[in-house]
Amino acid sequence: MPARRARGAPVDCIGGTVSIRFDKLGVVIAAMVAYAVFAAPFATFRANRIVPGEARSIIEALPPTLGPLLFAILIACGIVALLRTPLALRLLASIVALAALALLIGVAASFLTPAGNTFARVSPASGFWLLVFAFALLLADVLSRLNLSPWARVGVLFIAVLAVGALLTSGSWSSLSILKEYTNRADSFWNEASKHVTLALGSLVAAVLVGLPLGILCHRVDRLRAGVLNVLNIIQTIPSIALFGLLIAPLGWVAVHVPGAAALGIRGIGTAPAFVALFLYSLLPVVANTVVGLAGVPRAANDAARGMGMTDRQRLFGVELPLAFPVILTGIRIVLVQNIGLATIAALIGGGGFGVFVFQGIGQTAMDLVLLGAVPTVVLAFAAAIILDAAVEMSSSTRREAEAA
């Protein structure tokens, strides 16, 4: 009788023949790990911040004892990803690999920087970023298979933020070039971060305040719906840089001819056109999702509300909007993630934000300065997506419970 395979085991034993079982996603992850370990550079050393860098492999970038150790850890974790292994082992492998990479890239920066040299720069190279992506993909796959609750996913995000914060405050990454760029611009970094968040959240709040009533109106008035959605679709197709530019002239005219407009900060360049552009981009997801959410309210729920003698306003706020809320919240999630990314372009017209560092870095061919603006933007968008995804799932569960009742 053929032996049975234990659940999660990477091999089958049938008729005395051993058959190795591969994970489909694990094959892709293992290929990325193999390329990053054997062919791609792990770190880049520059004599200063703008000259071309010299690539260093894992063995060259780390002390003699730590280089082979990291090499072995990555290969072992790659094999765990390649085979059909238990979820607990895959989770452990992804966490160990990411932790080793996070700790040892700081060691590599200290090891490669000559003592007393304040001009040299060491930055993570393509191999490091590919390894981080590969094992982050493995971790995300494991967490999705575990089917964590919304609060558990937010908890994982919180733990990850604490871990990164601990590394930043411990000084383990202080020799990395991106942290040196931050040290030189610490005050302006937080000033631009405040502008970036204000632009993204402020335009979102304005879009919700305008888009929600407009979506309700479009749901109630069929003739209005097609016209409004078509106009918003057209706005959505305009490239962001072009829309920022188109707003310079009219807002400049308003600043000159409307009393008090300049005192409120309205002018042709700066925060005002960036805010207006982000607001216009935000309207379509809010309005469209409001219309779709209200259209998806079960007819039985409305009939029951009418039977109870509820007025149109009572049905709207007591029945329709609560049931449509998960769909509306999905639109808000789209807007927030979109605005966090688009706010980077606002720096081109003096709107501030993390884009200031991105475009300064491009102009100076200083890629570490580009990363100083790009990495926080990606982190903010990723965190916002996780938190709002959890909120959407919780609100959807509440809707299902309400419909069942």
Percentage of the residues of the chain whose pLDDT score is greater than 70: 89
pLDDT at 1 over 50: no
Give the residue range(s) of CATH 1.10.3720.10 domains in the chain.
Answer: 186-404
DSSP state of 16: T
pLDDT at 337: 92
CA distances from 337 to 96, 153, 200, 286, 331 (A): 29, 18, 9, 13, 10
pTM score: 0.82
- In whole angstroms, give the CA distance from residue 393 to residue 61: 44
From edge to edge, which strands make up the β-sheet containing 43-46?
Answer: 54-56, 43-46, 121-124
**E strand intervals along 32-145:** 43-46, 54-56, 121-124
Q: Please answer whether residues 264 and 314 qualify as being in contact, where contact means their C-beta atoms are separated by less than 8 angstroms.
A: no
Please state the CATH superfamily assignment of the domain spanning residues 186-404 in this structure: MetI-like (1.10.3720.10)
Higher pLDDT, 157 or 48: 157
**192 CB-near residues (< 8 Å, 6+ apart):** 352, 353, 354, 356, 357, 373
Q: Please answer whether residues 273 and 244 qualify as being in contact, where contact means their C-beta atoms are separated by less than 8 angstroms.
A: yes
Pair of tokens at residue 174: 């202080």
- In whole angstroms, give the CA distance from residue 256 to residue 266: 9
pLDDT at 392: 87
**218 CB-near residues (< 8 Å, 6+ apart):** 224, 225, 228, 229, 287, 290, 291
HSE-CB at 218 with a 13 A cutoff on CA atoms is 26
**48 CB-near residues (< 8 Å, 6+ apart):** 119, 120, 121
pLDDT at 127 over 70: yes
pLDDT at 17: 59
- For 187-228, the pLDDT digits (tens) are 899 999 999 999 999 999 999 999 999 999 998 888 888 888
Distance of alpha carbon 223 from the chain centroid: 37
- For 350-386, the pLDDT digits (tens) are 788 898 999 888 888 778 888 889 999 999 999 999 9
DSSP state of 317: I
pLDDT at 15 over 50: yes
